[in-house]
Each structure stands twice: as structure tokens, then as C-alpha cells.
Homo-oligomer: A and B are copies of this chain.
């Protein structure tokens, strides 16, 4: 009886062997995932530095199911010496901080490159500059077994125009014909949530999808935050203690945690009977465990502050929806900051009515889900948003998703989105998140109901007016005849007043609540 054969594998090897968990199930899904991951990296490279995004994407059919993708952005650029790692080493990146960003796993772009390498023997060609006098080009492969970049070629070129940004190019085995609906939908939904971005996509048939920015106003970029005491664990605090220069516990707490100042730290330490001036490095394992558990429970800490988040805002969300659907009415709302497990989040939602929105059967509702400005296109029925939509009693708002042209939009931004999968398909139903989505949609529903009520009233007033317009002259005529008076009474004045009233009502019913 022989024993088991053990071996260690690299992180690159792990994800190579388990591609499907990162959204690389098959050529169709891979085509979608690759485009999406690179576009998201491009957008992150712009927005986090308040650069109005200008993203150009081109997909070329090279025959035999091989496609070549080129994604260019005008973002911050990748530093020269970091390029090989940023594009050809799994689990290396700029996303491992507590900050709202599209990417959180630091995995997608590299998985795309890895997939190109194993299906099309492609290198990835990266050209980047941070706007200095030089730009640089690398051609890279991944040494999958060792998870290390292989530099096939590198070159430094002059950059007289001081161009800034990144261009990524590589080939992969895909199936654009079947992936096309999702890919196009992805660009469309992305443009809705980013009305300040210009995005250009040229598909293999030469069709140009162009989404021009309609505003230069951008949401403020997301900020990095310290961890909130309610979202910590032992490992995290241990690491902080290892690297802190604070020599007292009170200093350590006040310097390292979100929403903890000296006063709060003192109160907290008093409540758990720890000496404020003890050295954090002198804590015994047992004391450390107590400290961490008490921090997670203590209700004297302020809730996480959502100031660090970059939401889209009602105005931009409305603008994006208007451009895409030209609806009769859009109800938009943004909830206040909330938190789950120490992570702040904000929910924004909208319900649009009429215009180019189709009427759909109840199991194919028009629902747009976004998380940190990423549209989520798969697994709608496992998602918390769909759960909430099914739960709400729409009749109470005189709305009927099955017979009315309605579109629902929900955007969650958070320092940590509770995705259920590495492929970022759908969001776990955390009760706190569910609650916020429910109230956001109900607020929108109320707005829409008011609009529809006004519209109904306007229609009623208009109907009444046309009756008056028709009969008032006759009545006034008859009255004059009956009274034997040669001059009928002046009904025009009454009619005028009614017409002005009807116009007011009508105008009010189309005015948007901003």
C-alpha cells in the first residue's frame, strides 16, 4: 500500500487548473470575461485618479477561433519596473487595499493573459507610460508552474507627445459570435453607469459601438480606508501590531482603525479593562484574542463612514439612463451609508418608465445590477437584487412589472462587495444589503407612483377641459337665447382659466424630481 503523492503548486497553477471558477468555463464565456476584465482595469486606472475615461477596445478575428484584443486607456499608466508583475504574475497587483474598486481579486487581467497563453500561445504586449518623456513596451508570458513573469522583449521609446495610459494586446481562443449579445450588453450597461466615460468598441465584423460622454462631471474618486473595528480579525490585528510604531495600546487603536480616535479608544479600553498605556507588542495571545473579540462587539464605535466610497449619484445615474432608454420618467434615489461586517456600502437605485423600455414577461424583467460600477450580467436569479424585486408588493405602488414598461437599476458600492464567486457574477444576500436595496426600490416606486398619479390627473383634467371647450360655447349660446339676450355671456374667460390650469397640471406631471 503506497502513500499519497503530495506536491505544492503555484497560485498561477491553481487558477490555471481551475479556470472555470474565475469565469473561464469555455470559449464563449472566456470571450466575455476577458473583455470585461481588461475594460474594468482600464476604467479603474482612470477613475481612481480623476481622469475622464477614454477607453478604446478592438477585437480582431484572426481565424481558427483565435481573436486578438487591444484595449487602450488614458489612465495613470503602470510604472516601468512593475509591468511584468502587474500583467504576468498572479496575486500581484494594486487592488489589495480597502478601497472601492472594480477589481478586488487582482486576478482577472492576469487570468485573461494566462488564457491567451494556453489557448493561442500568445504573449501579452503591454505599452504604457505615466506621461513622462518615455514610454515602454513589454512582451510577456507567464511561467505558470512558478508563477513568475517571463520577459520576451522589452523596449523603451521616446514619448514626445507625453502620452499617458496603457495599451494591452494579446490573442486568445474565443467565440465572439456566441458571446456577442453579452459583450454588447456589457458595454451598453457600462455606459449607463458611466455617462462621463467615452467608450469605443470595434467588433470583429467592423461594427463600431460608440458611447460618448455626455458630461464631464465625475464622481469623486474612492479613498482608501483603515479597517473598521467591526470588520477585523486576529490575523489582521496581529499584522498591524507587528508593523506598528505605536508604543501604547491607545495610540495603536487611534492610529490604525477607521472611526477610532483617542477618546473612543480610551472609552473602549476602559470598558474591557485593558491598560491604555500597555505596549501592543506585549499582549499575550489570550489578551490579543480578547481584544479582537471585544472590538468586534463593542457598540461604542461610530459606524463606517461612506465618505470613502465613490457612488455615481442620482444626477449621473439619471443622465445615463436617459441617454440609453429615453424613458418618460426616471425615479432615482441614493440611500445613506450603511455597513455590513465593518465594510461601508451605499445603495443607489432607479426605476425608469416608458420610452424605449420594453414590456417583458415576469421572469425576464429588465433589471440592471451594478457593483462598484461593474454591470453584473450572469446569475440574476441567484442575486440579492432579484430576491428583493420578487419580494416587493408592487401593487401597493400601483405598478405591475409584468404589464408596464419598467426597468430597474440597482448599484451597490462598497470597499468590499460580497461576491459569491471569483467570477463576480452575483452578490450574496447579506441582510444589511438586502434591506438597503429594498428601501431604495420602494422609494423609487413611490416617486413613480406619484408621477403616474399626476399623469392620470392631467389626463382627467384634459378630458374635462375638452368637454368644456365643446359645450361651454353652446351653453352660453343657449343661455343667451333662453334669456332673450342678444349677447351670450363671456365664456372665454372661464375656458382660458381652465386651459391654464390643465397646462400647469400637465407640465407638473412631466417635470422630473431631481
Contacts and interface: CB of A to CB of B under 8 A. Distances in A.
Nearest to A97: B5
B234 A11 contact: no
A235 B92 contact: no
Interface in A388-437: 418-422, 428
A471 interface: no
Contacts of A285: 121
Which of A11, A21, A49 has the largest count of B CB atoms less than 10 A from its CB? Answer: A11
A140 to B, nearest CB: 15
Contact of A6 (B3, B48, B93): B93
A453 interface: no
A4 B421 contact: no
A85 B235 contact: no
B82 A6 contact: yes
A328 interface: no
A441 to B, nearest CB: 23
A465 to B, nearest CB: 52
A483 interface: no
Contact of A422 (B76, B145, B422): B422
A145 B1 contact: no
Nearest to A242: B145
Given A14-B91, A235-B117, A289-B121, A6 B86 contact: yes
A96 interface: yes
Given A76-B4, A234-B121, A289-B120, A420 B20 contact: yes
A293 B64 contact: yes
Interface in A184-241: 233-236, 239
Interface residues of A, number: 66
A6 B97 contact: no
A299 interface: no
A262 interface: no
Contacts of A163: none
Contact of A96 (B9, B11, B421, B422): B9
A119 interface: yes
Q: Give 10 nearest A-B pairs by CB, closest first.
A: A4-B94, A8-B92, A11-B11, A118-B235, A118-B233, A121-B289, A118-B234, A6-B82, A6-B94, A9-B91
19 contacts: A1-B49, A3-B79, A3-B130, A4-B78, A6-B85, A7-B94, A7-B96, A8-B91, A10-B11, A11-B11, A16-B235, A20-B418, A20-B419, A25-B418, A117-B234, A118-B234, A118-B236, A421-B421, A422-B422
Given A7-B94, A21-B419, 19 more contacts: A3-B130, A5-B97, A6-B79, A6-B82, A6-B86, A6-B94, A9-B92, A10-B11, A20-B419, A21-B21, A21-B422, A118-B234, A118-B236, A119-B233, A120-B289, A121-B288, A144-B235, A382-B382, A422-B422
